[in-house]
Structure 1
């Protein structure tokens, strides 16, 4: 089932959400630890290989000088790659966040958007690389951009991935 108008942002060519990912998105946005950070998941593809997130500039996300608080920017993107890997690799893998780095480029004065993509070639490589009991670190990057595509923050996440025995 496709949704329309619920994941507006600067990213054309979105795949359809399934009824399941649409429900998961709504539940995730309701989860207090995520909700209170100010970010909102706007779209999850049916195969969990693409996720869109928005961070609006609002009363809840503004800092002292009126721009989007850096903590809100990071909180919005923090769990996404880990969840994508968990959903695409399945129960035979353990995935944990290991480290993160955020580089602020411009103050966020309007809603910012992040588009996460996890190609099938990436999960295939992980499956091929890891025998049971082996682990690896994977690095993923995502930008927070405004409606014009201007990068306001760059985030680099390092995730620990282990194939369970």
Structure 2
């Protein structure tokens, strides 16, 4: 199944886990090059010590490299989010932001690596920052790519 970036942006705005946690997609480029996600800390979504849940920070990046790649590469590719790592550097307070970018060169590399039908695993890195631009967490995501074979 293939979705446009516009459809994905709308859907993620009403997706219950994000809606309940206060995670908001503020940008999803039509060409799959950039996604910006924000979380505003409130009394209803803070953890026991008054900061952003670590799971919320991790989930802010969870599907977006996969979804952006699906929007860009289309139905000719199998795309799957397969791994994630996070390093928490300081407590998340106020509004935290994750900016995920996939440059054209990365999409060209993906196409090159999968041209013969082989799988390709690519690591992406994102910093989650606070309102002062300080890094709250470093997140890495690994995405699986394989060009679909003709039946």
Scaled by the length of structure 1, the TM-score of the pair is 0.82
Residue in 2 that maps onto 1:108: 92
Question: Which segments of 5 or more consecutive residues in structure 2 lack a partner in the other structure?
Answer: none
1:58 aligns with 2:58: no
Aligned to 2:75, the other structure's residue is in SS state coil
Q: Determine which of 44, 47, 57 is the counterpart of 1:73.
A: 57
Instruction: Give the superposition deviation at 1:25.
Output: 2.0
Q: Which deviates the most, 37-46 or 137-146?
A: 37-46
Q: Give the conservation status (yes or no) of the 8 Å contact 1:98–1:158.
A: yes
CA-based RMSD: 1.6
> How far did residue 88 of structure 1 move?
0.8
Q: Would the alpha carbon gap of residues 131 and 26 (structure 1) be closer, same or farther in structure 2, given more than 3 Å must change? A: closer
1:142 corresponds in structure 2 to: 126
* In structure 1, C-alpha distance between the alignment counterparts of 2:79 and 2:30, rounded to whole Å: 20
Aligned 1:83-162 pairs, distance under 5 A: 83-162=67-146
The structure that is strand-richer by fraction is: 2
Secondary structure in structure 2 of the residue aligned to 1:55:
strand
TM-score (norm 2): 0.89
> Deviation at 1:40?
0.8
Note if contact 1:38-1:76 (Cα within 8 Å) is conserved in structure 2.
Answer: no
Deviation at 1:130, TM superposition (A): 1.4
The equivalences for 1:43-54 within 5 A come to: 43-54=27-38
CA distance in 2 between partners of 1:26 and 1:59 (Å): 26
Paired residue total: 146
Mark the CA change 1:97 to 1:63 in structure 2 (over 3 Å): closer, same or farther. Answer: same
Displaced runs of 4 or more, over 6 A: none
